[in-house]
Amino acid sequence: MEYIVIIIGAIFVNNIVLAKFLGVCPFIGVSKKISTAVGMTGAVAFVMVLATMVTWLLQKYVLVNFKIEYLQTITFILVIASLVQMVEIMLKKVSPPLYQALGIFLPLITTNCAVLGVALMAAADKNFGLMESVVFALANAVGFGLALVLFSGLREQLDLMKIPKGMKGVPVAFIVAGILALAFMGFANLV
Q: What is the model's pTM?
A: 0.89
| pLDDT average, residue stretch 145-167 | 93
Q: Which DSSP symbol is given to 69?
A: G
Per-residue pLDDT at 103 exceeds 80: no
Per-residue pLDDT at 180 exceeds 80: yes
- Picking from 115, 119, 101, the residue whose alpha carbon sits closest to that of residue 30 is 101
| pLDDT average, residue stretch 1-25 | 93
| pLDDT average, residue stretch 99-110 | 74
Percent of residues, the chain, with pLDDT higher than 90: 62
- Picking from 51, 24, 28, 30, the residue whose alpha carbon sits closest to that of residue 116 is 51
Residue 119 to residue 60: CA distance in whole angstroms: 12
Domain positions in the chain are 2-12+26-185
Helices (H), the chain: 2-8, 24-29, 34-58, 72-94, 96-102, 105-108, 113-120, 130-159, 170-184
